Structure formats: structure tokens, C-alpha cells
Structure 1
Amino acid sequence: MSRDFNYRHLYYFWVVAKEGGVARGAERLGMAVQTVSTQVKELERELGFALFKPAGRKLALTEAGQAALQQAEQIFQLGEALPDIVRNAGTAPSMRLAVGISDSLPKLVVHRLMQSVLQTPNLQLRCQQNAFDELLADLALHRLDLVITDRPAPPNRNLKLYGHALGHSAVAWYAPDNLFAAACEGFPQSLAKVAVLLPSAQAALRLRLDQWFERQGIRPHVVGEFEDSALLKTFGANGMGVFPAAEMVHDELLSRYGVRWVGTCTGVEEYFYGISADKHVMHPLVQRLLPAPPEGRGRTPK
């Protein structure tokens, strides 16, 4: 490689590779498609290897492109961190942490899972709630440091992700005062008569609940389905229906929502995972949140 190697060309290639195409890369960069395409071709000329190859209507990385992307990841991860490092060196030190949270995840559980970092001096925490796939995309682009969700990392060759089991909880049914007596009478068969609220099909817990109903021979009287777990509890607590929730936060549920415990959803558990991206240096607070170093669980196959 010559001394005149242009890191700007490498940056354009990195953005195009991360965005999955020249057009999307150009949009992120705020530049013309032709300009970005020319810069990437110039990088290929400097390196002496093609970095992309046609894949239908899209572009895919060549072997050389994959190697270049791995090096670019390290270079620009460190480069993106530079302004914060310099700023923090000249001002009061702070620790920034960006966490993505699945819509369906119980927020009281998330708060408990994050207890180990919440007392960090000068913590600047940013929490982003979104759908699972959207969070993984932001994680892959290093816009997030960690995703907390209700399912493990998916096997995907294009995303280098690690899944970490954070814990699990038994699930129980809770009711507002106006439905408590009816829900308790003949539980769990009472759930075929009393109004029931459930998480939407996007939640990993929903399938386990549906299977539990089938085993019990119950056709639940469902009056509402919610993607957001906090919204489900709010509507339930205000009298709309009986709802399932993680018993891990039983005391908080009773005190915050004023609901009452009806009975256990026997054999059903809710699982919680942390998903991190493949980084040269892992965020120290992410290390503290995770139970152990990654062991390849959830890592994309090579």
C-alpha cells in the first residue's frame, strides 16, 4: 500500500458496506451516488482488489472486501470514539451507554437487570425502545452498545453478534380489583370467561402462553393485544383485563400498578438476553452487565 493511501476512500467503503449498497451509503453520507461509487472504485484501485461483487440487484462483499471491512471496523470504531475521549479528557469525566430495549420486554425487569451500572458516577444513559430487527440493525452499525431483549441473537452471517443469557422468570397472572374475584374463581379455566390481555405475536412470550392455553384446554377471552409491555400493564391495571407478567418483579407490580396476584402460569417462563456486537474493545459497562465473557453463543457462523 502506498503512502498516499486515502482513508476517506476507506470510510466511504465502510459506510457502503454497513448500509448494504451504494445508494443507501450515499444517502447516509449526503453525497451523490456517482461520487461515492467513484471513491469506492478508487479504493479498489489503490488496494489492487475488487471489494464488492454483484449479488442479484444488490452488492456483496468479496473475500478481500470482508477482510477490508474487518480492518475498517476497528479503525472507525476508534475514530468515532475520539471526539468523546478528547471532550471527556478536558471536562468532567462521563460514561455514556446506549441501550436498545425490545418493545415487548417488561420495563421493570429491564431496570432490575441494569441495576449493576445505574450507580456509575457521571453515567449518561440513553435507552432506545424499538422492534427487535430495528435494534439489531442499530447495534450492527454501533449506534447502540447493547440490546436487551426476550430472545437470543439470530444466526446471521452478515451480523457479528453475541447473545448472553441475563436471566429468566416464572410468569403469573395479575388482575385489577374489579376482575380479581372472577379471575380467581376456577382459575385457570376462569381465563375463558374473564377479559384477558396478552402480548402481541411479536413477543417471544406469546407463543409460550398460547401453548399453555392449549395444554390447559382453555380458549382465552382476549380483549386486547399489546406490543409494549408497559402499555399492557397500564390498561390491565385500569380494569381492562387480567394479564401475564414476570414474577421476578412481583412486589413492584403490586405497588406500582395496584394489581393482585391471581395464580401461576405453570410451566411458562420468560427469558431475558443481552446482545452485543463484535467490537475490538467492549464497552466497560456492557462487560459489567453481562454475566460472563462471550462464549460464541449467538455468534454468527463463519
Structure 2
Amino acid sequence: MINYKQLHYFWRVAKAGSIARAATQLHLAPQTISAQISTLEDQLGAQLFKRVGRGLELTPAGELTLSYADEIFQIGRELEANLRNQADGKDILFRVGVADVVPKSIAYRLLAPGLTAGRVRMVCREDKLERLFAEIAVHRLDLVIADRPLPPALGVKGHSHSLGRTRIAFFAAADLADRYREGFPQSLSGAPMLIAGEGSTMQMGLTRWFSEQGIEPRIVGEFEDSALMKAFGQAGMGIFPAPAVLADEMAGQFSSSLLGEVEGITVEYFAISVERKLSHPAVVAISEAAKADRGR
């Protein structure tokens, strides 16, 4: 097992740029730090520094070790801060990113249990999924809500926890729904259609489904913001897809009627974290609430 004191000495030297400067900062003899780093190198079986002139430069193994050390000590600082806040009765910071393709009402349903986990202050931001993945990789976020798991090809250390799935349905303003409901789904051929932005799992699934069913709708709008798409749908500009679980909301908030559900297509939502075993109290509450919903 890695000796974390030795790892800390390595980290301080890498940040300071030399053993002498790190020794001054740590109030230790340079020989002590040098010996501890040599022991760490022996344990890891890799050289972490190489001499360049009078200075030190990280080897490829050293660069890799530094990236892990950055994460380890950042997590340690966050742990200390959260435990201190709990002990002092202060709010626990909960930083969450929501992919812009996730409907806001779905995001609310998934995140709301997190605010019941004691004194939590949630800082929520919406962005492109790729940027959120980069943020969580460097521990600037505690959680990302997404419509897909973390792709292994990104090389980001993280874990995807399923929060549940829902079927897709089509909705429209009452007059438009009445016109195209009969003969659904074949009636969608030639119908004015509003769709989610390129790259969303809903859009990709529906594109495949349209092709399999031989349906060719007339695409009149493509939206990255699902709320804007629903607003256009409410105004009667076209038929639009949405998670079937939101049928009541579509009828109430958006005055839109159900045409029908799509067989064979579901959208799954994920909580993506950097930890396999969830520990942040808000993240645990969100995961437990999702499990309870699936059990009903």
C-alpha cells in the first residue's frame, strides 16, 4: 500500500520544482525528503524524477503519479471541509452539473432528494456533457446528471450510477394532436416535428426508430433546450417527443396532449461521480431515492 506521507513529499517537490524549496516549505532536511521519495520510487517500481541540469523534471511515470496525487489531496481537502462544516452546523456544498439535453423537470425530480440530506447548499450548472465530464474529472463537480453513462474512451476516472429509465412519447397542442392521433405512429409521416438537438440519446433513438418504422416526419425545428422545444410545441408549431413520465406536466404546464408512446425506445438517466462507492450525503440521497422509485 502507498505511504501517503511519501506521496505528499513527492507532490510538494513536484509543485515546488526542487527538493531544496520543498524542504524549506516543509521545514525538513533535503536528505529526508530525498530518501522518502526514493523509497516511494522503489515501492512503485518507477523513477518519478530525472535530473535536467541543476533541476528536477518529472518522468512520464512522475506525471501520472502527480495527476493521481492532485486528485487524492484535493479529495482530502474536501473531506476535511465537509466534516468541519458538519461539525460546525454549516451547509455542505453540493456541486452538480446537468447536461443540457436533460429536461429540467427530470433534473429537478432527480436532484430534489439531495436537498433533504441535511444542511446542503446546491450549486447547479447546466452545460454540454463533454465539458461537465472534464469538470468532474478534476473534482470541480460532485455529480453530473446525464442521459448516458461516462464513455470509457474519454479516459476520465468516474463511475455511472443508473437513476432509472422512461419510455418516449409524442405530444402536441390539442388541435395538432387530434389531427395526427388516429393511425399513430404511421400518422407521423409528413407531420410537422420538433426534435431534440443532435447528439442527445433521445434524438439518436428516434432517428433509428423513424427509419425502422418507415416514418418520414417533416422536421420543422431542432432544439438543444428541451424547454424551448416544448414552448414551440405548446404554440402548435409541431409535434414533439418527451419522456412519457412527464405526461401530466405536458398536459398541465404545456397544454399539450398525448398522441402515443413509442415502443422499444427508452431514455435512461445517470448520476456520474468520481467515486464508485457514493459518500457525499446529497449524492447518496439522490441514489437512494432513485432506487426507491424503481422498486415501486
* TM range, smaller chain: 0.7 to 0.9
Which residue in the other structure is 1:285 paired with?
A: 282
Which residue in the other structure is 2:255 paired with?
A: 258
| From 84, 91, 96, the counterpart of 1:99 | 96
**What code does the residue aligned with 1:67 have?**
T
- The 5-angstrom pairing of residues 1-302 of structure 1 reads 5=9, 8-10=12-14, 12=15, 38=17, 46=34, 47=37, 49-50=47-48, 62-80=60-78, 82=80, 86=84, 89-90=87-88, 92-156=89-153, 158-278=155-275, 282-290=279-287
Superposition deviation, residue 51 in structure 1: 5.5
Q: How many angstroms apart in 1 are the aligned matches of 2:165 and 2:216?
A: 26
Q: How many angstroms apart in 1 are the aligned matches of 2:286 and 2:191?
A: 40
- Gap runs ≥5 in structure 1: 13-35, 53-58, 293-302
**What code does the residue aligned with 2:158 have?**
L
Superposition deviation, residue 222 in structure 1: 0.5
Superposition deviation, residue 160 in structure 1: 0.9
Superposition deviation, residue 84 in structure 1: 5.8
- Over the matched positions of the two proteins, sequence identity in percent amounts to 30
Q: Do the aligned residues in 1 keep the contact of 2:173 with 2:257 (CA within 8 Å)?
A: yes
Q: How many angstroms apart in 2 are the aligned matches of 1:166 and 1:9?
A: 42
Cα 1:227–1:157 shift into 2, 3 Å: closer
CA RMSD of aligned residues (A): 3.3
- 1:129-183 per-residue CA deviation (whole Å, 9 max, x = no partner) reads 1111100011011111011101111114742111111110011100012412222
Q: How many angstroms apart in 1 are the aligned matches of 2:124 and 2:186?
A: 39
**What code does the residue aligned with 2:232 have?**
F
Which residue in the other structure is 1:17 paired with?
A: none
Superposition deviation, residue 226 in structure 1: 0.9
Cα 1:40–1:280 shift into 2, 3 Å: farther
Q: How many angstroms apart in 1 are the aligned matches of 2:95 and 2:226?
A: 21
Provide the TM-score with structure 2 as the length reference.
Answer: 0.75
Q: Which has the higher helix share?
A: 2
Q: How many angstroms apart in 2 are the aligned matches of 1:122 and 1:72?
A: 28
Q: Do the aligned residues in 1 keep the contact of 2:96 with 2:123 (CA within 8 Å)?
A: yes
- 1:175-211 per-residue CA deviation (whole Å, 9 max, x = no partner) reads 0124122221332233223211001122011111011
Q: How many angstroms apart in 1 are the aligned matches of 2:73 and 2:181?
A: 60
Cα 1:227–1:40 shift into 2, 3 Å: farther
Q: How many angstroms apart in 2 are the aligned matches of 1:61 and 1:250?
A: 57
Any idea what SS the aligned residue of 2:152 has?
Answer: coil
**What code does the residue aligned with 1:112 have?**
R
Any idea what SS the aligned residue of 2:93 has?
Answer: strand
Q: Do the aligned residues in 2 keep the contact of 1:109 with 1:248 (CA within 8 Å)?
A: no
Superposition deviation, residue 100 in structure 1: 0.8
Q: Which one has a bigger Cα radius of gyration?
A: 2
Q: How many angstroms apart in 2 are the aligned matches of 1:212 and 1:126?
A: 37
Provide the TM-score with structure 1 as the length reference.
Answer: 0.74
Any idea what SS the aligned residue of 1:167 has?
Answer: strand
**What code does the residue aligned with 2:77 have?**
G
Any idea what SS the aligned residue of 2:164 has?
Answer: strand
- 1:218-260 per-residue CA deviation (whole Å, 9 max, x = no partner) reads 1111001111222211221122211011112221222111111
